[in-house]
């Protein structure tokens, strides 16, 4: 099986030994406490689940700035996006060397992790804007990722974490949320050697479905893992529970048994385009995938990135040398009226735009809200029914 990123063995920050974990939970009740924002909490879950291997915790300011500018973390580790814990008020933890991190996504605000504090540093709005401009290739506050990143707070807390739980994900998505090690174990159990990962924040329509088949066939892969994002999205995106149901239906009804696995991870969408595509690749290498499908406008939003900018970044020599996982580059896929099947648009001849069934996400949402069904060439009828029920409610 492919090695994790940056180490020969996966080193998740979750404390798996039950007795040790219980002792840490007891200790946490007596420690100074910091309420994290949602972005920092998502980072903790990813560190705990092994997806951010080999990182051990949150970056300091100098490392975060270097990571944003040069994609280099400590010890020259290639890393595309700063993993930081920024907050607005540090009154409760000043001069503390060990603190409890509270979960903002849980009604009880339970302790998510214990952190050994290396430093508490002021971070200016200008420094956050500088990092955001490097990460998102824009400083435009209309970009949802930039807006979130630049409003995190004024203090940056760095240090290693010991993760005690995975927030709401195991409860809300018991059949879907998995750690990187759990996916590796499943891959080993199935005897898969060549494994394709498909990243999604949307329900699968026919083009996505066919893209997974194309990748498996052309790579002679043993199977595909649809690895969905279960965290926060931008307004208007389909909720994770609805997505989960739609994708499971596709896997169970339209793919051979044990050829498509459905899984999910606890992270919020950044909409960082090329930089986020690299992070997606690291996450998938850590879970054991040998290939990641990178399609048109991967991890993009609005018109901030060109159609294939996320693919182009993987041709960078530095990026290629850092990663072991391979990229399956995909063009826009659509239903060909001439051929009666879903195709990659750049691979068919004698076609113009009118020969394809092209429906934008906005048009699909408008159809569903108004009770009109998208055509079966675009989306499976069972999936349409699930989506209509969601939008009509």
Nearest-angstrom CA–CA distance, 316 and 293? 17
Nearest-angstrom CA–CA distance, 292 and 298? 11
Tokens (6 digits) for 258: 């044990």
Nearest-angstrom CA–CA distance, 324 and 289? 10
CA proximity to 114, closest of 176, 160, 58: 160
Tokens (6 digits) for 288: 């054991």
Tokens (6 digits) for 11: 């080193």
Half-sphere exposure of 62 (CA within 13 A, CB side): 5
Nearest-angstrom CA–CA distance, 67 and 70? 5
Cα 373-375-376 angle, rounded to 5 deg: 110
Catalytic residues: 201-202
């Amino acid at each position: 099986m492919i090695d994790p990123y940056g180490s020969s063995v996966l080193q998740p920050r979750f404390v798996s030994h039950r007795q040790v974990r219980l002792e840490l939970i007891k200790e946490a009740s007596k420690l100074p406490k910091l309420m994290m924002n949602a972005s920092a909490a998502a980072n903790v879950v990813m560190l705990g689940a092994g997806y951010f291997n080999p990182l051990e915790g949150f970056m300091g300011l100098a490392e975060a700035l270097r990571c944003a500018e040069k994609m280099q973390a400590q010890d020259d580790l290639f890393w595309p996006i700063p993993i930081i814990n920024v907050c607005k008020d540090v009154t409760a933890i000043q001069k503390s060397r060990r603190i409890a991190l509270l979960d903002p996504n849980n009604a009880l605000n339970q302790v998510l992790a214990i952190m050994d504090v290396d430093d508490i540093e002021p971070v200016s709005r200008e420094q956050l804007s500088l990092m955001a401009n490097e990460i998102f290739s824009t400083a435009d506050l209309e970009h949802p990722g930039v807006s979130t990143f630049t409003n995190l707070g004024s203090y940056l807390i760095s240090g290693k974490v010991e993760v005690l739980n995975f927030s709401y994900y195991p409860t809300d998505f018991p059949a879907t949320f998995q750690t990187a090690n759990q996916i590796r174990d499943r891959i080993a159990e199935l005897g898969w050697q060549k494994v394709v990962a498909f990243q999604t924040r949307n329900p699968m329509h026919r083009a996505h479905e066919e893209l997974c088949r194309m990748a498996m066939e052309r790579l002679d892969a043993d199977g595909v893992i649809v690895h969905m994002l279960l965290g926060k999205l931008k307004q208007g995106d389909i909720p994770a529970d609805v997505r989960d149901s739609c994708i499971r239906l596709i896997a169970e009804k339209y793919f051979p048994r044990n050829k498509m696995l459905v899984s999910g991870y606890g992270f919020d969408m950044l909409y960082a385009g090329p930089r986020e595509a690299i992070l997606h690749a690291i996450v998938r290498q850590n879970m054991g995938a040998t290939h990641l499908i990178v399609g048109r406008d991967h991890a993009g939003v609005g018109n901030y990135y060109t159609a294939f900018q996320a693919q182009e970044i993987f041709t960078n020599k530095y990026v290629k040398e850092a990663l072991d996982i391979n990229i399956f580059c995909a063009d826009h896929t659509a239903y060909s009226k001439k051929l009666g099947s879903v195709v990659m648009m750049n691979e068919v001849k004698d076609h113009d735009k009118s020969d394809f069934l092209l429906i934008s996400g906005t048009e699909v949402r408008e159809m569903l809200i108004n009770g009109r069904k998208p055509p079966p060439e675009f989306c499976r009828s069972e999936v349409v029914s699930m989506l209509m029920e969601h939008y009509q409610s």
